[in-house]
């Protein structure tokens, strides 16, 4: 299978992962007593929720590992599609995607390996430190992939190797991801944008004849 088609599958899978993230945040976590962003860092609520449903948090951690895989495949596919017309921009996209992939992989593995012992010990201080680290890794990954999508949008408009509207959408999605660490609503807005953007991009890549 050509790399662009692999990237198309990865892009559609990214949208599916985002849907699962929203389902966990809005449907599963409220049943465990976590009803808002502020509850994530509250050891009294989060530790009880973790003990009540460890599989929920395991799935959440695994999502970040999968994000690391699909992000790298996607930027490599986009580089293959547009490198001839915008080589420097696409190498920047690959660098951004690689950084995001590394951050998400670290986030997922630390969650799987490190959090169970903290939860079992009910160590509130260690829990707060871990949550702060998670937020930093997630924000760093969003920031890096945001730049990758921003320069991809520029390359798309320059080379016309993606539909023009999709290029503008990539610019918007990238810009939101770059600044989403500043406010929780921006993160949710970025997720919604991704559910629209990634399937669209995936279909375009799967239809590639190059």
164-205 pLDDT, tens digit per residue, is 999 999 999 999 999 988 877 788 899 999 999 999 999 999
**What is the distance between the alpha carbons of residues 85 and 56, in angstroms, rounded to a whole number?**
44
Q: How many CB atoms lie within 10 A of CB 117?
A: 10
Q: Give the residue from 89, 84, 105, 102 showing the smallest Cα distance to 4.
A: 84
| pTM metric for this prediction | 0.92
The whole-angstrom separation of Cα 64 and Cα 60 is 7
pLDDT cut 70: percent of the chain above it:
97
Whether the Cβ atoms of residue 110 and residue 54 lie closer than 8 Å to each other: no
User: Residue 101 pLDDT > 60, yes or no?
Assistant: yes
Given the structure tokens 């999605």, which residue do they identify? 173
Q: Report the b/e string of 172-198 with b at 16+ CB within 10 A.
A: ebbbbbbebbeeeebbbebbebbbebb
Q: What is the mean pLDDT of residues 78-104?
A: 95
- Identify which of 109, 126, 104, 108 has the alpha carbon closest to the alpha carbon of residue 117: 126
d(CA 76, CA 96): 11
Within 8 A by CB and 6+ apart from 88, the residues are none
pLDDT higher than threshold 60 for residue 104: yes
Query: What average pLDDT is seen over the chain?
Result: 92
Q: What is the pLDDT of residue 209?
A: 66
Residue 210's pLDDT band (boundaries 50, 70, 90)? low
Q: What are phi and psi of 140, to 5 degrees?
A: -65, -40
Domain that holds residue 185: 3-206
Tell me how many domains the chain contains. 1
Neighbours of 128 (CB within 10 A): 15
The confidence band for 93, taking pLDDT boundaries of 50, 70 and 90, is very high
């Amino acid at each position: 299978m050509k790399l662009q088609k692999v990237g198309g599958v990865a892009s559609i899978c990214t949208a599916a992962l985002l849907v699962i993230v929203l389902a966990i945040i809005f449907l599963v976590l409220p049943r465990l007593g976590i009803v808002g962003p502020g509850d994530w860092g509250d050891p009294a609520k989060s530790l009880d929720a973790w003990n009540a449903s460890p599989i929920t948090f395991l799935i959440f951690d695994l999502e970040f590992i999968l994000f690391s895989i699909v992000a790298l495949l996607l930027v490599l596919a986009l580089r293959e599609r547009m490198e001839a017309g915008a080589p420097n921009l696409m190498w920047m996209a690959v660098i951004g995607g690689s950084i995001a992939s590394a951050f998400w992989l670290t986030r997922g593995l630390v969650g799987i390996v490190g959090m169970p012992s903290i939860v079992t010990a009910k160590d509130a201080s260690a829990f707060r430190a871990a949550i702060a680290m998670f937020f930093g890794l997630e924000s760093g990954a969003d920031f890096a992939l945001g730049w990758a999508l921003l320069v991809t949008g520029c390359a798309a408009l320059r080379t016309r190797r993606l539909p023009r509207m999709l290029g503008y959408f990539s610019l918007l999605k990238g810009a939101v991801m770059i600044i989403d660490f500043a406010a929780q609503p921006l993160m949710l807005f970025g997720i919604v944008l991704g559910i629209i953007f990634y399937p669209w991009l995936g279909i375009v890549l799967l239809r590639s004849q190059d």
